[in-house]
Each structure stands twice: as C-alpha cells, then as structure tokens.
Structure 1
Amino acid sequence: MMRRRTALLAGCTSLVLALGATACGDSEPVSAGGGDKTLDGKTVTVAGVWSGSEQKNFQKVLDAFSAKTGAKTQFVSTGDNVSTVVGSKIEGGNAPDVVMVPQVGVLQQFAKEGWLTPLSATTEKSVDAGYAPVWKTYGSVDGSLYGLYFKAAHKSTVWYSPDALAQAGVQPPKTYDAMLEAGHTVSDSGLAAFSVAGQDGWTLTDWFENVYLSQAGPEKYDALAAHTLKWTDASVVEALTTLGKVFADDRLTAGGQKGALNTDFPGSVEKVFGPEPEAGMVYEGDFVAGVAKDQFGRTIGEDANFFPFPAVGTGVAPVVSGGDAAVVLKDGKNADAGMKLLEYLATPEAAAVWAEAGGFLSPNKKLDLASYGDDVTRATAKSLVEAGDSVRFDMSDQAPAAFGGTKGAGEWKILQDFLRDPSDPKATAARLERAAADAYKG
C-alpha cells in the first residue's frame, strides 16, 4: 500500500506547508516538446503523501514542468491522511490544484463528493496510447477519467540475499510450494526463510492478495475487491489455508509468529539486508530495494535481488500493484494550470525524470526502460508493463478504509490475529466477512 509504505520509509514524518496558489489558469495544452512558457507567472499547488527522498525526486519532475511551461509549483506533504487534509483545505477555501491520491477508494470518494474535474482530452489520449486499459479503469468513476496513475508499485516481488540462497544451495523458486521448500533449506543452513512484517497489518494484506490472485484468479479477485463475493467463499478459506503454511511454520518465519508480530516493515528489510541478517528472504514490493540500498548500503542486483512472487498451485504468477494517481480539484485556485501539469505527467518525458532519479516505477509503456538506473529496476518495470491488463490493484486499497486501511481494525487486525494463530482459516474468513459487510455498507 503505497501511502502506508511511503509514511514508513519517511520515518512517519511530514512537512506542514502553507497552501498558497494565487494565480488563474488558461486552457492552452502542454505539449511534450513544450518550452513555450505559456504558464509564466502562474503557480500550481500539489498535495501528496510523499516526503523525504520521494518528495525530493518528485520535485525534480515539477521543476522540469516549470522549465517547460514557466509555471511555479508548490508541493504540500499531507502525511498519511490525504482525504482528511484535502477535505479540510476544501472546506477552508484553500484547496490545492492537484492531489496525488494513493488509493483507488480515496479517488472514488473524491469523485463522488464532487471534488474532481474530469481529465482533459489531451491527458485521456495519452492514457489510451501509453497505458494498459486497467489503469484507466482504476482512474475512472462512472465512466469519467479522473485519475492519472503517475507512480506505481510492483507488489509481487520477493527480495532475497543472494549470499543466503547460495549458502543454502538453492535457486530462486518458480512455484509457491518450491518457495516453501527452498525456505526450509535456507532454515537448515542457519537463517530463517522469511522476515515477515506482522506489526504492520498492510504487509499481511499484500501476502494474502498475491496468494489469492494466483490461486483464485482475476475474476474472483475483482469480485472480492468489490465485495460482490463474500469473504466466506471457499476460495478465501483456501487462500488463507495456503498462507497459513508460512505463518504456522516457525522454521519459515524469523522469530516465529511472535517475532513477526513485533517486526515492522523497515525492520523486516533489516532482518535480511542489515548488518546481522536473521532471514534469507522478505516479501514486499519493489520499494524494498530503496530501503536495502539507502539504509543498509546494499548494491541492488549484487547483494540484494528479487524473484517474482511465484505461482500458487495451478494458477499463474500474480502481479499486484499499487499506485499514486494525480487528480485535479475543482476548487483549486489554479485548477486549469493543474490540468496542464497532468497533461505533462502523462508523457514519458515526465516519467523519465523520476525514473532517472531512482525509486520509481511507471505504468506508462512508452517510457524507455533505459531511463531506469539499474537492471533490477528495469526488470521490475518491464514485468509491470508487460503484465498489461492482468495487473490487479492492491485489494485493500480498493476497500473502504474502515476495512482495508485502518490500524488495529478490519482486515489489518484480523490478519494479524491469523498470523498469531492460523489454525482456523474458516473462522478467520467469517470474521473478515463481518468486518467487510459493515464497512462496505457504511
């Protein structure tokens, strides 16, 4: 989940800046070649969860937009509670022009509140030409395109220490069962197989989503995400049973169940790539690489690498994604200029700016993979783009926050309890259904 992961990597810090866009816009489009300074003297205010290195790298994109159009930009870090912060700004008459929305559910909420302006024909044309249709679907509400997915996450990657696997004499596995078998071999060599970040419930939802998408298939995944399929369905029980094979086996999990429940996401990466490794593998998204590199000095592709989350049973390997969608607020003081920013963000030129800076994946298939700075990032980006319409957005990010995005409640809490005691998948499925029914009703 991008918003929670971003906050964690930033140490849960946020910058509180004043919103202050005062200019008015016009309707001239921004061309990819640009440089005509048509927005000279105007300011575009952008709000989003990013802070730290992500905010710094996004600023490079905004600076490139400024150089092209003459517009000034102001970024406001909202912290985790995007909807609350943006709602209060709108009520106070001080709405930003553009918001980077980290969840499908929040984008839908904003659209249904009447806060958003449909994206321009120029942006929609770029999306149709450069993106798999699934990204347009996730950015649309009631047939209108409101969100442009600029930054994506590949959440079907298992990161490992090449030294740990080499010491155990195992190769990156191709199937889920082979992954558990390799994990036992790693355990026999002296390290736990997996470091699991059970203290952060969102990581457990990601585990479940990958298993479920591969095992149950995309149609049931979509139905469960929309809650047209109940969580008591046999497919959910089966996926929980499969996942429980990891959670119940102390040889597979660093510190056992108790250790996992006391490990947060950064700590889970440290247990594999830190100075005193405790495990050989950690499952999470492509953003693991940033922690391994920036916090623990690992060289990506050499002493930190990944393999795709493997296929479960007779299913195919899953590709679960998350992402940040740019939207334009109706009440922004310079919303027209904000729309020009989105026309720019839809181009491969804009994506290349952040790709070259690192810590970024784009769903735009027109972005040259050579723009990425290393082979591992190129591989994850290629996997994401080539998955096309088989990509499925993080299920919990599609759910109401009361079910899929609240610490100590809903899916997060129930899966933490399942990690603590995975002996009754059927009962866990029933708890999930009760929580989902209440949340979706609300």
Structure 2
Amino acid sequence: MRSTSSKNRTGRAARAAAAVLAGALALSLTACGGDGDDDGNEQGGSGNEETAGAVTLPKLNGESLEVAAVWTGAEQANFKQVLAEFEKRTGAKVTFVPAQDPIINFLGSKVAGGQPPDIAMLPQPGAIKQAVDKKWAKPLGADAIKELQENYSQGWQDIGKVDNKQYGVYYKAANKSLIWYNTQVFENAGATEPKTWDELLTTAQTVYDSGVTPFSVGGAEGWTLTDWFENIYLSQAGPKKYDQLAKHEIKWTDPSVKDALTALAQVWGKKDYVAGGATGALQTDFPASVTQTFTGGDQPKAGMVYEGDFAQVNIVQAKAKVGTDAKVFPFPAVGDTAPVVSGGDAAVILQDSKAAQALATWLASPDAATIQAKLGGYLSPNKNVDNSAYPNEVQQKIAKALIDSGDDFRFDMSDQAPQAFGGTPGKGEWKALQDFLKNPTDIAGTQRKLEADAAAAYGN
C-alpha cells in the first residue's frame, strides 16, 4: 500500500496523550492469535431509496462511477468488494481505476484530458489541499457530512478539511508504529520483544548472532523510509518539534534531525543488519520486504520488518498466520515515550453528482468499513465499526487502540508536506532518505539536501 501514507493538519496531541496510546499498544500487542452483519435498524425510505443500517443510499440504476486509487493486489481486491456492495444496494456501476504515485500527477493528466474519476482516494492531506487549490475537489454534501459526524472523531474529520470545509472522508487509516517479527526466528535466537531503542538494537544483535539478518527494509519505495525517520523523530524530539518540522517551521538542518538520522544509522549503517545490504534494500519494494520476512522457514531473509498494520495483507500472502507465525510489537521508545504515527487515505469527490455524493456517504459508513475490516489488512478510523469485525486478535487490538486514542495521534509527517517534498518517487524526502540508506555516514549532507528540497517545496 502506498499507504497508505495521507496530509492537512490535525489532532496535535500532547506528549502525555501519545504516551497513553503507546502504552495501550505496548500492553495490547504482545498477545497474538485468534479469529475474529447484520444491518439492523432499518430506516424508512421514500420508495426510491434502499436503506441498510444507519446509512441510507439512493437508487442509482444506470449511473456509472469511477474511483481511482494507488492500491494494488489484495488491498485493491478487498476494496472492490466494498464497491460491489454499493453497486448491489444502489444499482450503480462502479469501476476501479488503478492510479500511479504521485496520484496528484495522475489525476492532473486525467483532468487535462477531460476525464477525471468521480472519486479519488488521496493518501495525503497535502494532496487534498492541492486538489482543492486546483479547483478539482468538490465539497462533501450534507448526507456525507452527517455520516462523518456520526462515525468519526473530530480529529479525523478535521484532516479531511481545507479552509474549514469538508472535502475528504478518511476511509482507511494506518497505525504506522509497529514492527513485525518472525516468531520462529525469535524463538530460535532467544530474542525478546524490545520496548526501547537500545533494547531493539540488542534484539537485532541477538537475531544476527543466530544467523539471520535482523531487518528487512523496502527501500525501493521512499515512503517506507520516511516512516522509519518519523517514528524515531517523534519519540526522540517530541510532539512539539515534530509539528514544527512537519510545517517547516524549523529547518531540516536542526540538531534534532541530526540526532534522528544518527539513531537511524545505527540500523541502516550496521554491517549485515539489513537484508541484501543497501543495494538489495533499494531494489526491494514494500510487499517483498514483508513477504521475505515470513518465507523460508526458520531461515528467512530477515527476522523483522517495520511497517504499519496493513503489512498483514502481505503476511497472509506469504502464507504466514498473523498471531502465530508473525507477531508484532510497538515501535520502541527512542526518547521518553514510544511514538504513535498514523496515516490514511481519504475519498475526495472530483465530479460532483448524486452518485458521487452517495458513494462518499457509503464510504463514511460503518457498513462499508466493516466489509473490508473482515477481509483483513485494513484499519478504519470509523468508531462505529464493531471491533469483532477484524479477523484476528492482533488487528482487533490495533484497531481498538486507534479508536480509543480519539484525536490524540500524530499524522504521518511526509504526508503533511507538499507532495513535491513528501510524496514523489525520486524526489524530495523520499530520494534523500534512499540516498541516506545507501550512505548512512553522510548525515550533514543528507540534512542539507532535505532542507534545500523542503525550502523549495514549502516556498520558504
């Protein structure tokens, strides 16, 4: 998933709030296993509407819609099941349009050709703002806003707003502060789940000494590298600095960035700590970084892989069982508290119509989110999705921690940046951190490059 990554400015929580959520994750993610619709409460319709649960949808026989997203593989297939249920309930026909990163550029070509999709799933608040600034995005109607207000915390509503007007429905969320591990590797090595950065380095050495490379890194996709940096930076520098750097109110040449890169180099720069070395990692995409951690029996290419809850889709593709073969622990505390970084994907209307507004309303409903929750590898910020819908105990606890956090989370930093800096392959932060993975000794040079690219993108 280019996950699922996401960008406006929201829910700035205090350090204490982040500590509470991190603590909840630490308590909840150690256990692993288990398995996890009634629509009910039908409302009266007017005869030309179909009602299910709390969401009422119009009849749309003969209407056709296009939805664009960068999702691939199982994630795309699962989302298509959500769209299929919308078709069943309304009579509309919905076509999924595969998009490429950066999606704003993809949409630009579609708009220029006079054929924009009806709805786009935008993985950054910054991309939502760009779509609004370019006058592509259309505000949500009353029905979609009502559904949002009933089902979402204020923080998740706010990150879909531009100039206090609601444009986005955050259909998909991500907890991006997790490290997944191969349980057989840990058992063979006698390794334990770490709670601090120093303990993580000790665990990595224990895994290395057992004959398995500690970490798998999907460096071919720059967003995975920004996520590594953000977790370290949030924990080490704290929420206030995190917010300042996210807005470019402090420079990337700040000493706090040096400290985070120095910590990151303790993993990326340690000989034989990354599967395939820097060269191999830079040729490994995100899905492969996960699957190679959970294939090969007790001798996989790596013992651990960092990424969000959505990695479960790829774990299942590796024919590993979440909770048995694959377990997870919260990203360890580098500073005073463990980090809690979130991301997400928002549905944004590009062609305003009754059908597009109905689809946005559907995606804001617990009915829609519940379908994908049951399929696994998905996390919803919709607080009215029953926790039992998630297919295993691990994901149930991750979802509960997200919902219980309310507005107390930090959104993915690169997703808050202008897309030219935080969301474009081969450019900006993605490219600078790929270069840093290749040469983790060049901390000062990396900072200078990050600052130059940020200044150009932010215009300051």
Conservation of the 8 A alpha-carbon contact between 1:184 and 1:251: no
1:267 counterpart residue number? 288
Cα distance, 1:406–1:41 mapped onto 2, change above 3 Å: closer
Pick the aligned partner of 2:306 from 255, 270, 283: 283
Q: Counterpart amino acid of 2:295?
A: G
Determine which of 45, 50, 66 is the counterpart of 2:87. 66
Deviations 1:35-71 (A, max 9, x none): 7753333333322223433232222212222332333
The counterpart of 1:219, out of the listed 225, 232, 240, is 240
Alignment of structure 1 residues 159-308 onto 2, 5 Å = 159-275=180-296, 276-294=299-317, 296-308=318-330
CA distance in 1, matches of 2:4, 2:360: 24
Q: Distance in 1 between matches of 2:405 and 2:329?
A: 15
Aligned to 1:381: 399
CA contact (8 A) 2:57 2:358 kept: no
Higher deviation after alignment, 239-248 or 27-36:
27-36
Please name the residue that 2:354 is paired with: 336
Per-residue displacement from partner, 1:2-53 (whole Å, max 9, x unpaired)?
A: 2588xxxxxxxxxxxxxxxxxxxxx989774457753333333322223433
Q: Is the 8 A contact 1:300 1:376 kept in 2?
A: yes
Contact residue 102 and residue 425 of structure 2 kept, 8 A: no
Deviations 1:208-234 (A, max 9, x none): 011111112222222211212211122
Instruction: Verify the 8 A CA contact 2:2 2:223 in the aligned structure 1.
Output: no
Distance 2:410 2:103 in 1: 23
Letter aligned with residue 168 of structure 2: G
Residues 160 and 359 of structure 1: CA distance in aligned 2, closer, same or farther (over 3 Å): same
Between 1:133-142 and 1:38-47, the stretch displaced more is 38-47
Q: Indicate the larger mover: 172-181 or 267-276.
A: 267-276
Does residue 355 (structure 1) correspond to residue 373 (structure 2)? The answer is yes
Equivalences, count: 416
Tell me if structure 2 keeps the 8 A contact 1:47–1:96. Answer: yes
Mapped to 1, the partners of 2:73 and 2:180 lie a distance apart of 23
Unpaired runs of 5+ in structure 1? 6-26
Match for residue 435 of structure 1? 453
Query: CA distance change for structure 1 residues 311 and 3 in 2, over 3 Å: closer, same or farther?
Result: closer
Shift of 1:109: 0.5
**Aligned with 1:173: secondary structure?**
coil
Determine whether 1:313 maps to 2:331.
Answer: no
AA aligned to 1:118 is P
Matched, 1:76 2:73: no
- Verify the 8 A CA contact 2:59 2:91 in the aligned structure 1: yes
Aligned counterpart, 1:131: 152
> What secondary structure sits across from 1:305 in the alignment?
strand
* Distance change (3 Å), C-alpha of 1:413 and 1:34: closer
| TM-score normalised by structure 2 residue count | 0.84
Q: Evaluate the alpha carbon distance shift between residue 338 and residue 300 of structure 1 in structure 2; reply closer, same or farther with a 3 A threshold.
A: same
Q: Is residue 4–residue 123 contact of structure 2 (8 Å, CA) maintained in 1? A: no
- Give the Cα separation in 2 of the matches to 1:48 and 1:176: 35
CA distance in 2, matches of 1:420, 1:84: 28
Letter in 2 for 1:309: F
Q: Does 1:156 align with 2:174?
A: no
Give the deviation of 1:258 after TM superposition.
4.2
Secondary structure of the residue aligned to 2:452 is: helix
Classify the secondary structure of the residue corresponding to 1:198: coil
Pick closer, same or farther for the CA change 1:412–1:182 going to 2, 3 Å.
Answer: same
Distance 2:258 2:57 in 1: 58
Q: What amino acid is the match of 2:370?
A: A
CA distance in 1, matches of 2:363, 2:181: 33
* Identity over aligned pairs, percent: 50
- Matched residue, 1:18: none
| Structure 2 SS opposite 1:73 | strand
Q: CA RMSD in A?
A: 2.5
3-state DSSP of counterpart to 2:293: helix
2:33 aligned residue: none
Structure 1 position 165, deviation (Å): 1.0
Answer whether contact 2:101 2:424 (CA < 8 A) is retained: no
Does the 8 Å contact 1:29/1:122 carry over to 2?
no
Give, as a single letter, the amino acid of the residue that structure 1 aligns with 2:160: G
Secondary structure of the structure 2 residue equivalent to 1:89: helix
Give the distance between the partners of 1:208 and 1:78, measured in 2 at CA: 26
- Classify 1:85/1:214 alpha carbon distance in 2 versus 1 (closer, same or farther; 3 Å): same
Greater displacement, 33-42 / 209-218: 33-42
Q: Residue in 1 aligned with 2:2? A: 2
Contact 1:126–1:346 (Cα < 8 Å) also in 2: yes
Residues 93 and 418 (structure 1 numbering): CA distance in 2 closer, same or farther, change over 3 Å?
closer
Supply the distance in 1 between the matched residues of 2:345 and 2:55 (Cα, whole angstroms). Answer: 24
Relative contact order, higher structure (CA 8 A, sep 6+)? 2
Structure 2 distance, partners of 1:177, 1:122, is 50
- 2-structure distance, mates of 1:266, 1:35: 37
